Amino acid sequence: MLLCVPLASAETYRVGLLAFRGEMQSRAEWAPTLEALNRALPAHRFEGRYLTQQQLDDELAAGRLDFVVTNPAHFVLSRGQGLNWLASYLDPHYGQARQSVAGTLWVRADSDITDVGQLGGKPVGAVHQQAFGGYLLVAEQLRRQGVLPAELKLRFTGYPVDALVYLLRDGALNAAMLPACLLESMVQEGLVTRTDFRALMVQDDAICVRSTPLYPGWSFAAVGAADEALLRAISQALLNLEHRGRPQWGAAIRLDDVERLLADWQLGPAFDSTSPLQLLRQVIDRYWPFLAALAAIVLAMLLHHYRVTLLLLRRTLERDKLHDLMQHKEQELAQARQRTLVGEMATGLAHELNQPLSAIQAYAQAGELVSEAGPQQEAFSHIVKETERGAAIIRRFRQWATQPLPVAEPFAPADLCRDLVTRIGPRAAAKGVRLSVHTEAGTLLSVRPAIEQILNNLLGNALDAHARATRKQADNGTMLLTAHHQAGGWRLTVEDDAGGVDSHIIEAMQQSLPASHYHGMGIGLLVSHRLALRLGGSLTLVNTGEGTRATLFLPEES
């Protein structure tokens, strides 16, 4: 009775053990561990409950377990139950905990399946959707080789896992996903024959035939917040436990690789379905070959777009250069047409005007011979001189229109203006127009005859405008000729108060080819405008309200 007292008062702890091969096999495997705990802690009693993975989950959720012994994947998935890892199981095949769990993909020895790519659409067996060695590890390797679970005709048969071996042997399955070393254990137990089976995706230098890398081993964990002294005592007892002369348990190790694997399968606490970064990582890890190919295609498209853009830019620059060249050639052609037109006009004018001038000169010379000495003879002499000057002007017109200008020489614009006023003054006085001149001292390097012709034409146009204007008094018209030096050149103007000119003439003067048919002014303006351009200057017309102002600008050297 005294011996029975401690047993009756001992506190009992329920240890849930994952019986993936059934209760009988699990009892034989884990009995040494439970017995060692009971011997090391006589004040406590540890009872084993041999359960499937689903039963373990149900018991944990109901709070009916104090400790669990399970594979690393189930341990990670059950962390929400407050598990406290005490020790790691040292697998007898590998003698360590860090690398002791793997999976193997088996087919029958007489099967014609030699590559995992041939499994598509065929029945493949596994023990449970969350089984570690019995499904997740092998399925991960298949996925890395391009065979997705959706392509297989998966059959989850449940525990014990030994049933999968028999289904495969009997032909009910084409392949089976099993924990590594399971088939070897069943062969040693005399349950199956090794030569009836063949493995796929075999890893090198494996103690047991395996198709996957090795992962951490099983865990002994406490459920909830147990007494710390008790947990320390249990851990010590497990670390001191030896079976057949070797340690059976070691210190707890990290499960980072297991957690990453579960996260890839969207399982466990590491997976957060609401995390965009986690989802992105899952997509990248699963579809990285396709994403790499897509990135290469996008990069190739960007490079092609860049190349096309460069070619387009180059073609655009070439087109712009060609367009500018065409415009330049068109301008040269237009200038050539203008020169041809001016030359033809000058030739026609010279031919037409030379005849009446010759006749006038002949009559004046005859009158000079028959007249008596005195005023009449002097008048005829003036007529002869003016006709000779007119013929010289016509020759210069023709020369300037068709040939290069004479060499530029320095001259005083003030002297040129005074000579013009002296020459045109009698005509202006005869029409009742008062002609004034304002000039500045200085010299201009240019072609004086050309400038003289331009100013003479502008003064003649102003006199003609006064003659066309209707006035109450015959002597109230004015004309002003100015020559002023300014920055960059000289500005010579002819201004009148004869009422102005048609706006179409002013618009035509702004074009490259002025009009030639407005009120008898066109031919003179055409020649004057062309001469101003050839001298490097410009000729402009503006209406001032009372009359017209013609401005001739000439650079310092032209």
Condensed to tens digits (0 to 9), the pLDDT of residues 265-320 reads: 766 554 444 456 666 776 777 678 888 899 999 999 999 999 999 999 999 999 98
Identity at 74, one-letter amino acid code: H
Between 8 and 145, whose confidence is greater?
Answer: 145
Residue 263 has pLDDT above 80, yes or no: no
- In angstroms, the CA 529 to CA 509 distance is 8
Model confidence at 488: pLDDT above 60: yes
Asked if 481 and 455 touch (Cβ cutoff 8 Å), the reply is: yes
Indicate the residue type of 155. Answer: R
pLDDT score at 344: 64
Q: Look at 155 and 400; give whichever has higher pLDDT.
A: 155
Q: Give CA–CA dist 91/397, Å, rounded.
A: 120
User: Which structural domains are found in the chain, ordered by start?
Assistant: 4-97+217-271 (3.40.190.10), 103-200 (3.40.190.10), 406-555 (3.30.565.10)
- Band of pLDDT at residue 523, cut at 50, 70 and 90: low
Contacts of 133 (CB under 8 A, 6+ apart): 71, 101, 102, 103, 178, 179, 180
- Stretch 430-459: mean pLDDT: 89
pLDDT digits (tens, 9 = 90+) for 191-227: 999 999 999 999 877 688 988 888 888 888 888 767 7
pLDDT beyond 80 at 358 = no
* Helical residues (DSSP H) of 79-170, grouped into ranges: 137-144, 162-169
DSSP per-residue codes, 164-220: HHHHHHTTS-SEEEEETTHHHHHHHTTSS-GGGEEEESPPSS-SS--SS--B---EE
Mean local confidence (pLDDT), 515-544:
71
Confidence of residue 484 (pLDDT cuts 50, 70, 90): very high
Q: Which helix (H) or strand (E) holds 355?
A: helix 276-370
101 and 216 Cβ atoms separated by less than 8 Å: yes
d(CA 528, CA 532): 6
Q: Are 450 and 419 in contact (CB under 8 A)?
A: no
Q: pLDDT of 247-262, one tens digit each?
A: 888 887 777 777 777 7
Phi-psi region of 513 (alpha: psi -120 to 50; beta: other; left: phi over 0): beta
Between these two residues, 468 and 106, which has the higher pLDDT value? Answer: 106
471: pLDDT strictly greater than 60? no
Strands 11-18 and 44-51: parallel
Residue 522 has pLDDT above 60, yes or no: no
Are 195 and 152 a contacting pair, CB within 8 Å? Answer: no
Chain mean pLDDT for the chain: 81
Calpha distance 496→549 (Å, rounded): 7
Let me know: does 179 contact 212? Beta carbons within 8 Å: no
Cβ pair 86, 253 in contact under 8 A? no
Distance CA 520, CA 397 (A): 18
Distance CA(506)–CA(500), nearest Å, equals 10
Q: Which of 139-148, 478-487, 510-519 has the lowest mean pLDDT?
A: 510-519
Distance CA 499, CA 506 (A): 14
Query: How far is it, in rounded angstroms, from Cα 116 to Cα 138?
Result: 11
201-211 b/e (C-beta count within 10 Å ≥ 16 → b): bebeebebbbb
- Short-list 198, 218, 220, 217, CA closest to 209: 198
**137 in Cβ contact with 215 (< 8 Å):** yes
Looking at residue 510, what is its pLDDT? Answer: 60
Neighbours of 471 (CB within 10 A): 12
For residue 248, the one-letter residue type is Q
Mean pLDDT of 450-457: 87
158 in Cβ contact with 96 (< 8 Å): no
Q: What is the pLDDT of residues 5-30, one digit of tens each?
A: 444 456 889 998 988 888 888 888 88
Structure tokens at 109: 């020895």
pLDDT band at 372 (very low <50, low <70, confident <90, very high): low
Tokens representing 288 are 């990285």
- Band the pLDDT of 545: cuts 50, 70, 90: confident
- Most confident residue range from 61-65, 357-361, 379-383: 61-65
Among the residue ranges 230-239, 300-309, 349-358, the one predicted with the least confidence is 349-358
Give the pair of three-digit tokens for residue 393: 């002007």
Q: Whose structure tokens read 């209707």?
A: 470
Query: What was the pLDDT predicted at 517?
Result: 38
Torsion of CA 394, 396, 401, 404, to 10 degrees: 170
The helix or strand, by DSSP H or E, that contains position 479, with its residue range, turns out to be: strand 477-486
Distances from the Cα of 136 to the Cαs of 51, 82, 186, 278, in angstroms?
Answer: 20, 24, 22, 19
Count of alpha carbons within 13 angstroms of residue 87, beta-carbon side: 23
Q: How confident is the model at residue 415, as a pLDDT?
A: 92
Q: CA 169, CA 174: separation in Å to the nearest integer?
A: 9
Can you give the pLDDT at residue 509? 64
Residue 515's pLDDT band (cuts 50, 70, 90): very low
- For the ranges 70-84, 151-165, 254-268, the maximum mean pLDDT occurs at 151-165
pLDDT at 257: 72
pLDDT of 80 strictly over 70: no
Residue 217 pLDDT: 83
Break the chain down into helix, strand, coil percent, rounded to 5. Answer: 50, 20, 30
Query: What average pLDDT does this structure show over 86-94?
Result: 82
pLDDT at position 1: 38
Instruction: Look at residue 10 in the predicted model and tell me its pLDDT.
Output: 66
For the chain, the farthest-separated pair of C-alpha atoms sits apart, in whole angstroms, at 189
Choice between 507 and 143, residue whose per-residue pLDDT is larger = 143
Q: What are phi and psi of 224, to 5 degrees?
A: 80, -170
Q: How far is it, in rounded angstroms, from Cα 251 to Cα 237?
A: 12
Task: Round to whole Å and give the CA distance between 207 and 184.
Answer: 10
Query: What region, left, alpha or beta, does residue 205 occupy, with left being phi > 0 and alpha being psi -120 to 50 degrees?
Result: left
**β 538-543/197-200 pair status:** unpaired
**Residue 113 near residue 119, CB atoms below 8 Å:** yes
Check residue 342 and give its pLDDT. Answer: 66
- Contact predicate 180/103, CB 8 Å: yes
pLDDT digits over 460-469, tens only? Answer: 888 888 887 7
